[in-house]
Amino acid sequence: MMRKLSLLFAGALMGASAMSLVYGTPGSAANAAGSETYKQLAIFGDIFERVRAQYVTPPDDKSLVENAINGMLASLDPHSSYMNAEQAQDMRVQTKGEFGGLGIEVTMENDLVKVITPIDDTPAAKAGVLAGDYIAKIDGEEVRGLTLNDAVDKMRGLVNTPIKLTILRQGADKPIELTVVRDIIKVKAVKFRVENDIGYMKITSFTEKTYDDLENAIDTIKKQIPDDKLKGYVLDLRLNPGGLLDQAVSVSDAFLNRGEIVSTRGRDPKDVTRFDAKPKQVDDINGKPMIVLVNGGSASASEIVAGALQDLRRVTVVGTQSFGKGSVQTIIPLGENGALRLTTALYYTPSGKSIQGKGITPDIKVDQPLPPELQGRDLTRGESDLKGHIKGADESTTGSGSAAYVPPDPKDDLQLIYAEQLLRGQKTDPSFPPNPQKAVLNQ
């Protein structure tokens, strides 16, 4: 029996990825290649030998093969790639929620490394790296010509060693030079605090620690606010790039007492996996009202949580359109401890809708204005903007995503303020509180 651990991946996280792990062989055999395919493979072999024999300088055979593989995978979609032994080991470490690196989530765009978001309280965030920045040089070396994996590898290194990044930032009249000191990135999966009569919980990523951290947050909030004074909770999923699928399911289950959470569907129509909430009398927050916050930085596993709780009418979602990454990557171990990261399925919310290239549409749209120093800059993030992305079944010309910005000071956070006013009854809206009897389910 093949053992399978499912995770989700949203972009390339510096030092931390999320994906599906498969031990053994893929579930379905590849179709036999036709004669034309073998002819093309023969051409590839001929080119490989000519490059080895005649290129002006002797190339590295391993690099040639790895680059050829990555070129093939990059032509499929932005999330499929090959990991060598070192990268695969990094991936295994990353899922534990503690890793070495700079602390930024990145993708490749226009031949440059584009920062999707810096992780809170990491060297990159402290050095001033912003979402939307383009990294043009790493320690003086041009990024153009490198693969995303190559660039990520160059940004990794020994703890306490400096790295110089040359950044192109919209609105800046010249490149920005930043020096970042590498460090062990200890991601606190859940940050929480008490806002008088409201419990606030922010999930930064979905690692092995997330559900346990969430339960600790809920227990602590309950102890700090008497039940008769507790108005409800805010679950903040903004700037959350995703993570482990099993953790997304567990987090969703914490706030549900019934219903389907998510389903994944592969190439074969029969390849459908469903994840359901555990039946129980009351959820972990005793049925208290809850608002979920999302924006363009909410991707993958965070969209699973928001989509499940929204479809089942357990919460009201406030904010702006989420990122729209609805694909599942399977990690297939290869020889000498390398691994293949391959998109093998799409996931669907309880209503049966795919968020691929569409995202989660909030029940109440609340825009967050940019501060003067960021105005005029494009901080919009969305799967539909990624070159070569898989077009979603529900994707439209509108696309997915929105601005991925959250003010550092809560008093400037209009989305959070709106959520708290709803919970306290200072604002009203037809979508709050939601009616679980009107849950939207796939028939």
DSSP for 44-87 reads HHHHHHHHHHHSSSPPPHHHHHHHHHHHHHHTT-TT-EEE-HHH
- Alpha carbon separation from 258 to 261, 276, 280, 313 (Å, rounded): 9, 7, 7, 11
Query: What is the gyration radius of the CA atoms in the chain, in angstroms?
Result: 22
80 counts as catalytic: no
DSSP for 155-168 reads H--STT-EEEEEEE
Whether residue 203 contacts residue 237, with contact meaning beta carbons closer than 8 Å, is answered with yes
Q: Which of 319, 311, 356 lies closest to 237, judged by CA? A: 319
| Cα separation, 310 vs 237, whole angstroms | 13
Burial of 87 (C-beta count, 10 Å sphere; 0-12/13-18/19+): buried
Looking up tokens 């077009």 gives 391
Whether residue 324 contacts residue 11, with contact meaning beta carbons closer than 8 Å, is answered with no
DSSP for 188-224 reads -SEEEEEETTEEEEEE--B-TTHHHHHHHHHHHHHHH
CA 408 centroid distance within chain: 21
| Cα separation, 143 vs 314, whole angstroms | 45
Looking up tokens 């596993």 gives 301
Widest distance between CA atoms in the chain: 79
String of b and e for 336-367 (b: at least 16 CB within 10 Å)?
eebbbbbbbbbbbbbbebbbbbbbbbbbbebe
Whether residue 34 contacts residue 270, with contact meaning beta carbons closer than 8 Å, is answered with no
Whether residue 77 contacts residue 327, with contact meaning beta carbons closer than 8 Å, is answered with yes
* CA dihedral over 54, 60, 62, 65, signed as positive or negative: negative
300 counts as catalytic: yes
Which is the catalytic residue, given 81, 300, 302, 384? 300
The one-character DSSP state at 387 is T
| Cα separation, 90 vs 73, whole angstroms | 20
Which is the catalytic residue, given 325, 385, 402, 413? 325
Looking up tokens 């002819």 gives 39
327 counts as catalytic: no
Which is the catalytic residue, given 311, 363, 385, 413? 311
Other beta carbons within 10 Å of 212: 13
Residues that are catalytic: 300, 311, 325
